[in-house]
Amino acid sequence: MVRPLEVPVVTETKRLMGRGESGRAVRFAYPAALTDAARAFGWQLSGAATNRETLAVFTDQAPPHFVTHLARLYALYEPARYGRESPPLVEDPVQILLSLYSFAPMWMLYAQTGARPATTPSSGGKSLPAAPPPSDPQGG
């Protein structure tokens, strides 16, 4: 039996958006997706690197379309995180998350029995365990 899969990061972002908390939704979504991406692709997150530096490093370590979607989410995150007020969103973070989690390494994090979602927005410079090797590394 095949059951539909809703990724917890997407669910929580939808919930926050539905409550009108777009800034909080984006401040939650980007770090959570980045943590999941690190797990999915076996990336080593450094606590010393900025988010922009992290994206630049991972450009060569993930499918180009994936990094493009992650950069789109970061473009929403940066003003929400570092600005005084969250500006109106130019894109829907839920749609970007759906694009990110359509890649097999990402959704497989949640398809595995007992797989646990990323619960912290930052790894604190600690390495995260890699997910099992995907059968389709290009994803969706």
Contact 89, 22 (CB under 8 A): yes
Distance separating alpha carbons of residues 74 and 51, to the nearest angstrom: 8
Architecture of the domain spanning 8-111 = Up-down Bundle (1.20)
What is the tens place of the pLDDT at every residue in 49-83? Answer: 888 888 888 888 888 899 999 999 999 999 999 88
Q: What is the pLDDT of residue 61?
A: 82
Cα Dmax for the chain: 48
What is the tens place of the pLDDT at every residue in 18-52? Answer: 999 999 999 999 999 999 999 999 888 888 888 88
| pLDDT at 130 exceeding the cut of 70 | no
Amino acid at 93: P
Contact 74, 11 (CB under 8 A): no
